């Protein structure tokens, strides 16, 4: 980050100060699990009956602003019965299932939800109609074996969890301040090379957790997914990649790369899901310190 004050279009700046150089700024940990308002109290405060549905345009815009979810919640981009694969006409029991091997719960015609299971057979996308706000929300959960990620989405809010870091068999929650939520549990079935997945989604306009949510659906209940077959024995994702060219373009050398540069390189090579620059082995630490001819041999056998 540089700070500059310039008074001439073609001249040197009067002031130029470097504030940060490759400075690592910790990301803020956000708690989006709870914190929204009581809808009945809010409706009363703006002079509307508790049964108002859908809300007038001014009221739904104000509600989204008061909930402070403008950046994550889209009122204009609807998916229910608007975009493929969320058309009710093509759905069977609420699902457009392009994977015949995955069993799922079923919905009735009264349920305003359509889900889609992709041909990869690795997860689900669901669109829930929200009549109170005259819009719809998209939920997504993908167990990406080959990408080494558990991918979750609630409308515009998305997160990726490394499968190496994920605590299999534990219950998890991905929530947009309690307004929209995914509850999930994934078990790693090593012997059968499968996952067992339980998943439910919610939409709640009332902050009182003792009351039922406006909409709540169980998508999977101990459903078994076959793991994808992954081929890592392929060439570079970018067939024309050259490390020397990449370094030259950035005026870098192997000995002066910052963590930011290294992270950029891992993402460019699409191996960032499998390697961490911040968690590297150290030649001066155990078990590598004290090596002789490149080996630290703690057994009596001869190694060449």
* 279, 162 contact by CB (below 8 A): no
Would strands 95-97 and 113-117 be described as parallel, antiparallel, or unpaired? parallel
Residue 99 lies in a domain: yes
Residue-level pLDDT at 304: 57
Taking a C-beta distance cutoff of 8 angstroms, is the pair 137, 155 a contact?
A: yes
What is the C-alpha separation between 149 and 231, in angstroms, rounded? 16
Q: List residues bridging with 231 in a β-sheet.
A: none
Question: Are β-strands 113-117 and 215-226 bridged in parallel, bridged antiparallel, or unpaired?
Answer: unpaired
Residue range 195-250, pLDDT digits in tens: 999 999 999 887 777 778 889 999 999 999 999 888 877 778 788 889 999 999 98
Domain enclosing residue 50, as ranges: 39-226
Secondary structure class of 148 (helix, strand, coil): coil
Task: Please answer whether residues 96 and 119 qualify as being in contact, where contact means their C-beta atoms are separated by less than 8 angstroms.
Answer: no
Asked if residue 64 belongs to a domain, the reply is yes
Tokens of 190: 């090593």
Question: Can you read off the two tokens belonging to residue 59?
Answer: 């009221």
Residue 33 counted as domain residue: no
Q: Is residue 274 part of a domain?
A: no
Asked, for residue 23, whether it belongs to a domain, the answer is: no
- For the chain, the domain total comes to 1
Is residue 179 situated within a structural domain? yes
Q: Give the model's confidence band at 188: pLDDT under 50 very low, under 70 low, under 90 confident, else very high.
A: very high
Give the pLDDT mean for 48-76. 87
- 280 within domain boundaries: no
Residue 277 lies in a domain: no
Strand residue runs (E) in 33-121: 95-97, 113-117
Kind and range of the H or E element at 37?
none
């Amino acid at each position: 980050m540089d700070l500059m004050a310039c008074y001439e279009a073609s001249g040197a700046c009067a002031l130029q100060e470097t504030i940060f150089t490759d400075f690592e700024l910790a990301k803020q940990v956000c708690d989006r699990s709870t914190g929204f308002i009581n809808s009945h109290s809010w409706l009363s405060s703006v002079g509307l009956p508790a049964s108002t549905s859908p809300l007038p345009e001014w009221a739904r815009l104000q509600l989204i602003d008061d909930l402070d979810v403008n950046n994550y919640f889209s009122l204009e981009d609807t998916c229910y019965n608007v975009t493929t694969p969320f058309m009710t006409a093509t759905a069977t029991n609420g699902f457009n299932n392009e994977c015949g091997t995955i069993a799922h719960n079923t919905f009735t015609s009264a349920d305003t939800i359509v889900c889609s299971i992709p041909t990869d057979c690795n997860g689900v996308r669901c669109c829930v109609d929200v009549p109170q706000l005259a819009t719809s929300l998209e939920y997504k959960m993908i167990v990406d074996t080959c990408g080494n990620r558990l991918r979750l989405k609630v409308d515009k809010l998305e997160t990726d969890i490394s499968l190496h870091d994920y605590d299999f068999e534990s219950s998890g929650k991905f929530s947009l301040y309690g307004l929209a939520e995914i509850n999930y549990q994934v078990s790693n079935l090593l012997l059968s090379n499968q996952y067992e997945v339980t998943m439910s989604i919610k939409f709640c306009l009332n902050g009182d957790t003792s009351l039922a949510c406006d909409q709540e659906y169980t998508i999977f209940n101990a459903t078994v997914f076959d793991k994808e077959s992954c081929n890592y024995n392929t060439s570079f994702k970018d067939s024309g990649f050259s490390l020397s060219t990449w370094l030259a373009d950035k005026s870098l050398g192997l000995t002066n790369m910052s963590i930011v540069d290294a992270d950029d390189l891992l993402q460019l090579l699409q191996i960032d899901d499998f390697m961490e620059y911040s968690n590297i082995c150290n030649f001066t630490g155990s078990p590598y310190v004290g090596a002789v001819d490149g080996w630290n041999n703690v057994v009596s056998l001869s190694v060449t």
